[in-house]
Amino acid sequence: MSSITSHIENVSVSDLVNRYGTPLYVYSKNNIEKAFKQYKQAFGDKKHLICYAVKANSNLSVIALLAKLGAGFDIVSRGELLRVLKAGGDAQKVIFSGVGKTREDLRFALETGIHCFNVESEAEIYMLNEEAEKLGKKAPVSFRVNPDVDAKTHPYISTGLRENKFGIPYDEAVRIYKAANALSHIEIKGIDCHIGSQLTDLAPYCDAVDRMLKLIDELSANGIQLSHFDMGGGVGIDYEGEELINLQDLVNMIYEKLGDRPLSIAMEPGRSIVGDSGYLLTEVILTKENEGKHFAVVDAAMNDLIRPALYESWMRIEQTKESSATVESYDIVGPICETGDFLGKERELALEAGDILAIKQAGAYGFVMSSNYNTRGRAAEVLVDNDQVYLIRERERLEDLFANEKVVSFDEK
């Protein structure tokens, strides 16, 4: 049987549930701080920029906390930029990634004055040049290059196929950089890559750095001098006992390979900053047995946490108190009418109705990917700081779910 999560920082799970109900997302402030400081420490006094990938957890208080710690931000939409500004983040430390930025997105970011646009296609650079010209500005630019790290050599990078839609092709990068350099309202600043997520081995990063540095040298030989190299995100966390990348090893490897090239390093970590800090608390509605198979039906579902259903991700699920109930091998399932609505399968747990379960490492790609499927309100979010608890997002009220809808009056004709 797994261990017990009775407290989050110094607050008991039962207190949290009594005050805020379930399903409930809970984040440990100290854990987020610790994760961010590990990055800071790994870089030490070398010139760098850590841009937290807002998509992993975009709650305003999480952004505000990271802004206070000095983080920059990696955003992928106008909405995320608005969040960063609202939370007091520094626009000068914002980089804008994404394969489909609209003209409106580009204009808003140009007007705001961000650090860099991570451009992902040739078409985008021309759009950006036009929009910058209209505003009488020069757009700071980096190209996201797909370093084409061999997924066969490193089978755990499962994003190979999906990556195709991202970035510009490695072999065309020099030509595209030269074309961009000739545009009147573009200012070439850097280069970036992002090779995948939940990486647990240094090897693909090493390959990517080698490939990117080769390209950086080629650009330099063509008269294009860059000032930063952005390695993207992707550092994995411990969901299931994975061996993790040591951040200091990663940073040392980058600087060793970089040698005396005068480039500052940027990174865009998401999961490794917030993933470990988060818990999804859920109450067991009932247990049932279907022909020898045990189910615990809980009040959180795939609309609250889609990772198990979407990626078949394994996430730790722990009891929050000792129990005298019989231990069974449970499938932990939600109330949604889909067979894919599960949070965990075959978990040895001692359960009865009313028990609270804690789903761990739920701080990244948890709440942000939640939906209203089955007209379920999204969960509340709280931040715990030692023995202080802050409600950082109210539970959605059911009436609000259809507040923007209109009922056509079909009787009038």
* Nearest residue (CB) to ligand LLP, 17 versus 317: 317
141 near 125, Cβ under 8 Å? yes
The structure tokens listed for 304 are 């609250």
From CA 388, how far away is CA 397, in angstroms rounded? 25
From CA 61, how far away is CA 55, in angstroms rounded? 14
Residues in contact with 386: Cβ distance below 8 Å, sequence separation at least 6, in sequence order: 9, 10, 30
- Give the interface segment with ligand LLP, choosing from 192-200, 315-323, 348-356, 402-410 (CB under 6 A): 192-200
Whether residue 337 lies in the annotated active site: yes
Is 373 annotated as belonging to a binding site? no
Is 278 annotated as belonging to a binding site? no
From CA 299, how far away is CA 356, in angstroms rounded? 10
Task: Tell me: does residue 121 bind ligand LLP (CB under 6 A).
Answer: no
Q: Which residue in the set 16, 26, 54, 56 belongs to the binding site for ligand LLP (CB under 6 A)? A: 56
- Give the interface segment with ligand LLP, choosing from 100-108, 125-133, 264-272, 397-405 (CB under 6 A): 264-272
Task: Tell me: does residue 190 bind ligand LLP (CB under 6 A).
Answer: no
Task: Tell me: does residue 344 bind ligand LLP (CB under 6 A).
Answer: no
From CA 80, how far away is CA 277, in angstroms rounded? 21
* Nearest residue (CB) to ligand LLP, 35 versus 284: 35
CB atoms under 10 Å from CB of 400, counted, come to 12
122: phi then psi, degrees, rounded to nearest 5 = -65, -40
From CA 213, how far away is CA 211, in angstroms rounded? 6
Is 234 annotated as belonging to a binding site? yes
Please report the beta strands in 167-244, taking only residues with DSSP state E, as ranges in sequence order: 168-169, 186-192, 228-230
| Shortest separation between residue 367's beta carbon and ligand LLP, angstroms | 12
**Which residue in 372, 383, 379 sits closest to 298, CA to CA?**
379
- Give the interface segment with ligand LLP, choosing from 1-9, 191-199, 201-209, 348-356 (CB under 6 A): 191-199
Q: Which of residues 140-159 bind ligand LLP (CB under 6 A)?
A: none
Question: 65 in helix, strand or coil?
Answer: helix
| Shortest separation between residue 46's beta carbon and ligand LLP, angstroms | 20
Residue with tokens 């209209």: 134
Is 111 annotated as belonging to a binding site? no
Task: Tell me: does residue 303 bind ligand LLP (CB under 6 A).
Answer: no
* Nearest residue (CB) to ligand LLP, 58 versus 287: 58
* Nearest residue (CB) to ligand LLP, 185 versus 271: 271
CA dihedral 378, 383, 384, 385 (to 10 degrees): 180
- Give the interface segment with ligand LLP, choosing from 21-29, 217-225, 233-241, 345-353 (CB under 6 A): 233-241
Q: Which of residues 364-393 bind ligand LLP (CB under 6 A)?
A: 365
Q: How many residues bind ligand LLP (CB under 6 A)?
A: 19
| Shortest separation between residue 344's beta carbon and ligand LLP, angstroms | 15
Task: Tell me: does residue 268 bind ligand LLP (CB under 6 A).
Answer: yes
* Nearest residue (CB) to ligand LLP, 89 versus 270: 270
343 near 360, Cβ under 8 Å? no
From CA 371, how far away is CA 247, in angstroms rounded? 33
Active-site hit among 51, 193, 206, 337: 337
Is 240 annotated as belonging to a binding site? no
Q: Which residue in the set 5, 59, 197, 303 belongs to the binding site for ligand LLP (CB under 6 A)? A: 197
Burial category of 320 from C-beta neighbours within 10 Å (exposed 0-12, middle 13-18, buried 19 and up) = buried
| Shortest separation between residue 358's beta carbon and ligand LLP, angstroms | 18
Question: Which one-letter amino acid corresponds to residue 34?
Answer: K
Would you say the C-alpha torsion 399, 405, 409, 410 has a positive or negative sign?
A: negative
Is 170 annotated as belonging to a binding site? no
x/- letters, 72..101, toward ligand LLP (CB under 6 A) = --x----------------------x----
CB atoms under 10 Å from CB of 297, counted, come to 18
Q: Which one-letter DSSP state was computed for residue 118?
A: E
Is 311 annotated as belonging to a binding site? yes
Q: List residues forming the annotated binding site for pyridoxal 5'-phosphate.
A: 234, 268-271, 365
Contact footprint for ligand LLP (CB under 6 A): 53, 56, 74, 97, 194, 197-198, 232-235, 268-272, 307, 311, 365
Would you name the residues annotated as active-site residues? 337
